[in-house]
């Protein structure tokens, strides 16, 4: 965790080329108030979560909203955190994969546990984004059809699995919730 500007590499494309753009603001992340000190006004939420707040769950791949690896919830809307201007979501509820309700014993949410049990993880890079998307789907629709599942994760690219085991994991999570398993 590093919340000073020193975490920005000198050659970073995110480094401002003007000095007066450093701002401080406060975000609400996973229910906690987090101060962002001296951040550049143009920083994305993805960048701030990872580089300034030490929350590495949202992954940085495309930085253009194509891959879904940085998916988070902002006021219960599933969005790509790379396309959210961090300084614009002050006062809104930001939920990352780290903030999903976890089983106290396993430390995992039911969706995470289903991904593990079904082997829905290969390299794992896309997994946090998928977990947030699936979590969002099941909160809105406890009994999604296969088409609805496919559509819900259509913004999360996985280049390893071919998605078969991911669908299995979603179905396991659905069944577990229906039978009163861990939420």
Partner 1 sequence: MPVATPRSLEAALSALKAAPESQFLAGGTDFMVEVNAGHRRPGSVIALSRVPELRTITTSIDSSTMRIGAGVTYADFARPPIADAHPALAASARSVGSPQIRNAGTIGGNVGTASPAGDTLPVLAALDATIELMSVDGAVRMVPWREFFVGVKRTSRRPDELITAVHVPLLDSHQDYLKVGTRNAMVISVAGLALVVDFGGRNVRVGLGSVGPVPLRCEEAERWVVDHIDWDARTVPDPRSYETFGALVAEAAKPITDHRSTAEYRRHAVGVMAQRALMRLV
Residues that bind partner 1 (CB under 8 A): 13-14, 16-18, 21, 23, 25, 41-42, 44, 63-66, 68, 71, 77-80, 82-85, 87-88, 90-92, 133, 151-152, 154-156
Least distance in angstroms from the C-beta of 105 to partner 1: 31
Distance CA 97, CA 100 (A): 6
Structure tokens at 7: 């975490």
Of 74, 35, 77, 43, residue with least CA distance to 60: 43
- Cβ proximity to partner 1: between 113 and 161 the closer is 161
Residue 115 Rama label (left phi>0; alpha psi -120 to 50; beta):
alpha
- Cβ proximity to partner 1: between 83 and 106 the closer is 83
- Cβ proximity to partner 1: between 56 and 182 the closer is 56
Structure tokens at 21: 């753009």
Least distance in angstroms from the C-beta of 163 to partner 1: 13
Of 35, 124, 28, 127, residue with least CA distance to 73: 28
Helix/strand/coil for 168: helix
Of 70, 54, 50, residue with least CA distance to 62: 70
Distance CA 17, CA 26 (A): 23
- Cβ proximity to partner 1: between 114 and 152 the closer is 152
Least distance in angstroms from the C-beta of 88 to partner 1: 4
Helix/strand/coil for 120: coil
Least distance in angstroms from the C-beta of 78 to partner 1: 5
Least distance in angstroms from the C-beta of 142 to partner 1: 17
Least distance in angstroms from the C-beta of 13 to partner 1: 4
- Cβ proximity to partner 1: between 23 and 116 the closer is 23
- Cβ proximity to partner 1: between 43 and 118 the closer is 43
Is the separation of the CB atoms in 129 and 156 below 8 Å? yes
């Amino acid at each position: 965790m590093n919340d000073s500007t020193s975490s920005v590499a000198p050659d970073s494309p995110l480094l401002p080329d003007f000095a007066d753009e450093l701002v401080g603001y406060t975000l609400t992340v996973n229910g906690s108030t987090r101060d962002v000190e001296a951040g550049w006004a143009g920083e994305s939420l993805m960048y701030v979560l990872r580089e300034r707040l030490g929350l590495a769950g949202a992954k940085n791949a495309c930085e253009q909203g194509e891959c879904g690896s940085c998916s988070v919830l902002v006021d219960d809307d599933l969005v790509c955190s790379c396309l959210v201007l961090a300084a614009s979501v002050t006062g809104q509820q930001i939920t990352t994969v780290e903030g999903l309700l976890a089983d106290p014993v396993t430390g995992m949410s039911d969706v995470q546990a289903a991904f593990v049990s079904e082997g829905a993880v290969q390299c794992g890079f896309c997994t946090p984004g998928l977990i947030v998307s699936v979590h969002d789907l099941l909160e809105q629709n406890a009994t999604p059809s296969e088409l609805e599942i496919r559509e819900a994760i259509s913004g999360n690219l996985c280049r390893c699995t071919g998605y078969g085991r991911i669908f299995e994991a979603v179905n396991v999570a659905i069944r577990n919730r229906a039978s009163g398993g861990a939420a």
